[in-house]
Amino acid sequence: MKITWHGHAFIEIQVDGKQILIDPFITGNPFTKTKPEDFNPDYILLTHSHHDHVGDTEELAKKSGATIVTEMDMANDYAQKGFKVEGPNYGGTVHFDWGDVKIIPAWHTTANVPLGMATGLALKIEGKLIYIAGDTGLFSDMKLVGRKQQIDLAFLPIGDYYTMGPDDAAYAASLIDAKKVIPYHFNTFPPIKQDVNDFWKDVPENMKFTTEIDKPFEL
């Protein structure tokens, strides 16, 4: 599979000819050079309802007919608007021909419409386990994500203010014992400005993974 980080919390996965977008915050995202019209998603996975995660979801899903996959209450809201949805709740997994999406807890709030709860995502694609922490503070249960299989790649927020900061996120990296970690959700807005080295300095050397924004890599 090919994975692309488009800055902030926007991630693209290409597998089996399918395009999967996670938290497609494109309009207003200061990092990505992509535009909504560059995408034709088959699935859109959302961690929660804040605008910097929902982003261009409705416009994209209307255009492509993508299935929106997110926590149950938020999914129901989209279903009422006529979108195709899958909405498991915490601990539940939905199986697709390209992989599995498990909705897992994250400690964060939601106050917009649609409502729903904040989540992380555990993806199992081509046998690889990917943990997308979403917006969250540090909590010890995140180590359960890799309970049966070591996490191959984890995206961890390091921005502080709305989520974990670099210190807690580096602790989280060790706690979850992922093979590789990518720091995300930082530098987008003034309150989450961070020096990424404040994260890397406390992360085990073998876990470090860097990628350029908008540049696909193989996993």
> Where does this chain bind Ni ion (CB under 5 A)?
50, 135
Name, in order, each residue with C-beta under 8 angstroms of 127's C-beta and a sequence gap of 6 or more.
none
> Whole-angstrom Cα distance, residue 114 to residue 126?
32
Residue (71 or 135) nearer to Ni ion, CB: 135
CB of 103 to Mn ion, least distance (A): 17
What is the maximum alpha-carbon separation in the chain? 47
Integer Cα distance of 166 and 148 in angstroms: 27
Q: Which of Mn ion, Ni ion, none binds 8 (CB below 5-8 Å, type-dependent)?
A: none
Closer of 117 and 182 to Ni ion (Cβ): 117
Position 135 contacts Mn ion (CB under 5 A):
yes
Q: What is the token pair recorded at 206? A: 């073998």
Among the listed residues 137, 131, 146, 208, the one whose alpha carbon sits nearest the alpha carbon of residue 177? 146
160 binds Mn ion (CB under 5 A): no
Contact range with Mn ion by CB under 5 A, out of 13-21, 56-64, 127-135, 204-212: 127-135
By residue count, the chain amounts to 219
Options 52, 77, 152, 160; binder of Mn ion; rule CB under 5 A: 52
Least separation in angstroms between CB 53 and Mn ion: 6
Residues at the contact surface with Mn ion, assessed by CB under 5 A? 52, 135
